[in-house]
Amino acid sequence: MQGFPFPELDWEGTRPFWKGAARGELVIPRCRACSAFVWYPRERCRACRSANLAWTRVSGRAALFSYTVVHDVFVKPFAELVPYATGLVVLAEDPAVRLATLLVDCDPAALRIGQPLRAVFRPLPFSGPEVLAPLFTPA
Amino acid sequence: MGRAPDAWGVASPLEDVSGEVAVVGVGESEHTRASGRRAVDIAATAVEAALADAGLEPADVDGLLFSGGLPEQLDAAAFHAHFGTRHEIWECPRGGGMNLAATAPLEAARALREGRASALVNAFAVAWASQRAAMTGGPGQFHAQEHYKRNLEVPFGWFPQPVYFATIARRHMYEYGTSPEALGEIAVACRAHANRHPGAVMYGRELTLEQYLERPMLCDPLRTEDCCLISDGGGAFVMTSRERARDLRHPLVTAIGMGEARARTGTYWAQQPDFTATPQAFSAPPAFAMAGIAPVDVDVLTLYDPFTIAALMQIEDMGFCEKGEADAFIRAGSLRVDGGCLPYNPHGGMLSHAYVLGIAHVVETVRQLRGEAHAQVPGARVGVYGGYAGHMASTLVLARS
């Protein structure tokens, strides 16, 4: 298992998320009883307490909720990324679901909150194994 | 108070202990950059100073509060090892710094009511500057180890704290039109205050708004000056009953209101429904109600200020101005000791005094109410400390009788 800042691909709480990403799919847990998305993942639906959840593929369409352009190296593995844009996006299916992501193939200075984005599946940009991840780019 | 039960934050129900506990001694260690000192030794130094200030001896201390969740804090064993004492001491791990610096007087009041202790010390110290230099710990460590952050945030570069708060700051700017100048004024006011406090780490280093605006971005829209220091240092305060305090040497300063609240989303800031607010919205109102005051009655405010935006949001959430109106409020000079309507962090806060996680804020608030601070607010009678640990907020109202 690769270390920080790579994800723990086998950790049960987020294993389907990363397996989906490896297939090029964005999957989010959703309640079969009330249709609410359950994010971050939990064993039970926050809305209705049902344990009947299923990881569900979503479109990958999203909007930019907020972001920052990181210019300084806080953590050594991020050194090769700097400067980079990271932030939160909200899903087209439910704006209450916020994903942290890297914003790629864009001019960081041209980013604006609310702009439409789409998911692209790229290897995480750190030295080490190839781990496909849902990153976001202007739609 | 009056919030819907499905709100994103919830206040702890606290019993009314208004006026029962007095703060009778305060002390600090030297605050420094990386010094090679251990946190527990720093805390003991601060306790020595606080006891001397109170006019009490180590053998008089029969209650000790510390942050049990952090390593190397001053528990009873460490207290005895340092002072060479061996008497019985009641211990409470729900004290120390951050949000718990505000609720330590509540724990003390409970101990006094139950007869567990009569003279209590709350102490806190960190050696994060030394630990970060040695790569053995620091403020990012907790977040790096938490599974959801590790697997859903860190791989995307959304880490550590400056990145979280830069994202919050940009959203606040988007929602409310908050300007870089407002964030800058917080940093500049703190620096101006620190320049009147010889114990401040940034003492002697001027910062103007023009200089602030010319500084490079650390993580846009935050600059280095928007972020707290990383320090070695600590502080302590001594508490006893109001009755016993009357026999001690200082003007009577009592805890008249306390509040505590948490966000239901915990430390997952990314998921907090109101992204540009703090749990102070739930903590401050009951604290002010217990104290019988309104925000306008506050003479001096100290806020746990890891970032300028964290202070700005708390100022709104505690009701010192309307939500979304902190920009104009702050840019009007409200936070200045000289002439502001809400003198704020007169010691310089964690941005310019020291990053000792709020314990120095309480020490400063007490000194302000005694009238012995370096950047003194004339005639201050009511002081408030706002604690903030991301998922938790707390509020302490102190008053000079």
The answer to whether residue B130 scores a pLDDT higher than 90 is no
Distance CA B399, CA B293 (A): 11
Alpha-carbon Rg for chain B, nearest whole angstrom, is 20
Question: Which residue range forms the structural domain that includes residue A55?
Answer: 15-138
Q: What is the pLDDT of residues B364-389, one digit of tens each?
A: 999 999 999 999 999 999 999 999 99
**Residues of chain A under the 50 pLDDT cut:** 1
- DSSP secondary structure, A84-136, as one string: EEEEEEEESS-TT-EEEEEE-SS-GGG--TT-EEEEEEEE-SSSSS--EEEEE
Position A27 in a domain: yes
Q: Note whether B159 contacts A66, CB cutoff 8 Å.
A: no
Give me the pLDDT at residue B140, please: 67
| B304 a catalytic residue | yes
Q: Note whether A68 contacts B270, CB cutoff 8 Å.
A: no
Give me the pLDDT at residue B397, please: 98
Q: Note whether B271 contacts A68, CB cutoff 8 Å.
A: no
Q: What is the pLDDT of residues A98-130, one digit of tens each?
A: 999 999 999 999 999 999 999 999 999 998 899
Both structure tokens of B297: 């009655």
Confidence of residue B137 (pLDDT cuts 50, 70, 90): low
Distance CA A15, CA A22 (A): 11
Position A43 in a domain: yes
The answer to whether residue B26 scores a pLDDT higher than 90 is yes
Instruction: Report the 10 Å Cβ neighbour count for B13.
Output: 7
Mutation site, B6, B149, B152, B175, interface A, largest A CB count within 10 A = B152
β-strands B90-92, B63-65 pairing: parallel
Instruction: Determine the average pLDDT of the residues in B307-329.
Output: 98
Number of domains in chain A: 1
The answer to whether residue B244 scores a pLDDT higher than 60 is yes
Q: What is the pLDDT of residues B170-215, one digit of tens each?
A: 999 999 999 999 999 999 999 999 999 999 999 999 999 999 999 9
Give me the pLDDT at residue A71, please: 96
The Cα of B159 is separated from the nearest Cα of chain A by a number of Å equal to: 8
Q: What is the pLDDT of residues B323-366, one digit of tens each?
A: 999 999 999 999 999 999 999 999 999 999 999 999 999 999 99
Give me the pLDDT at residue B135, please: 52
Give me the pLDDT at residue B316, please: 98
- For domain B21-133+231-245, give the CATH number: 3.40.47.10
Q: Note whether B148 contacts A40, CB cutoff 8 Å.
A: yes
Instruction: Determine the average pLDDT of the residues in B312-322.
Output: 98
- DSSP secondary structure, B13-82, as one string: P----TTSEEEEEEEE---BSS----HHHHHHHHHHHHHHHHT--GGG--EEE-BTTSTT---HHHHHHH
Give me the pLDDT at residue B2, please: 42
Give me the pLDDT at residue A73, please: 87
| B212 a catalytic residue | no
Position A63 in a domain: yes
- In terms of DSSP H, where are the helices of B195-343? 209-214, 242-245, 280-291, 308-317, 326-331
CA distances (Å), origin B288, targets A21, A63, B320, B393: 49, 39, 12, 14
A104 touches chain B (CB under 8 A): no
**Distant-in-sequence, close-in-space partners of A28: CB < 8 Å, separation ≥ 6:** A17, A37, A38, A39, A55, A56, A58, A91, A97
Report chain B residues whose CB lies below 8 A from the CB of A86: 156-158, 163, 167
Q: What is the pLDDT of residues B266-283, one digit of tens each?
A: 989 999 999 999 999 999
Mutation site, A68, A80, A131, interface B, largest B CB count within 10 A = A68
Position A20 in a domain: yes
pTM of the entire structure? 0.96
Position A6 in a domain: no
Q: Which residue of A has its CA nearest to B154?
A: A5
- How many helices (H) and strands (E) chain B has is answered by 15, 12
Q: Note whether B170 contacts A8, CB cutoff 8 Å.
A: no
Q: Which residue of B has its CA nearest to A28?
A: B152
Q: Note whether A100 contacts B216, CB cutoff 8 Å.
A: no
Encoded amino acid at B323, one letter: K
Tell me the average pLDDT of chain B: 95
Give me the pLDDT at residue B1, please: 41
Distance CA B183, CA A49 (A): 41
The answer to whether residue B3 scores a pLDDT higher than 50 is no
Peptide bond into B71 cis (omega under 30): no
| Tokens 């710990």 sit on residue | B137
Encoded amino acid at B132, one letter: R
Position A5 in a domain: no
Confidence of residue B134 (pLDDT cuts 50, 70, 90): low
Position A1 in a domain: no
The answer to whether residue B217 scores a pLDDT higher than 50 is yes
Tell which residue, B158, B125, B166, B152, has the closest CA to residue B140.
Answer: B158
Mutation site, B8, B132, B158, interface A, largest A CB count within 10 A = B158
Give me the pLDDT at residue B144, please: 75
Instruction: Determine the average pLDDT of the residues in B12-24.
Output: 98
Report which DSSP code applies to B377.
P
Position A128 in a domain: yes
CA atoms within a 13 Å half-sphere pointing along the CA-CB vector of A33: 11
CA distances (Å), origin B302, targets A127, B194, B287, B337, B368: 44, 13, 15, 12, 10
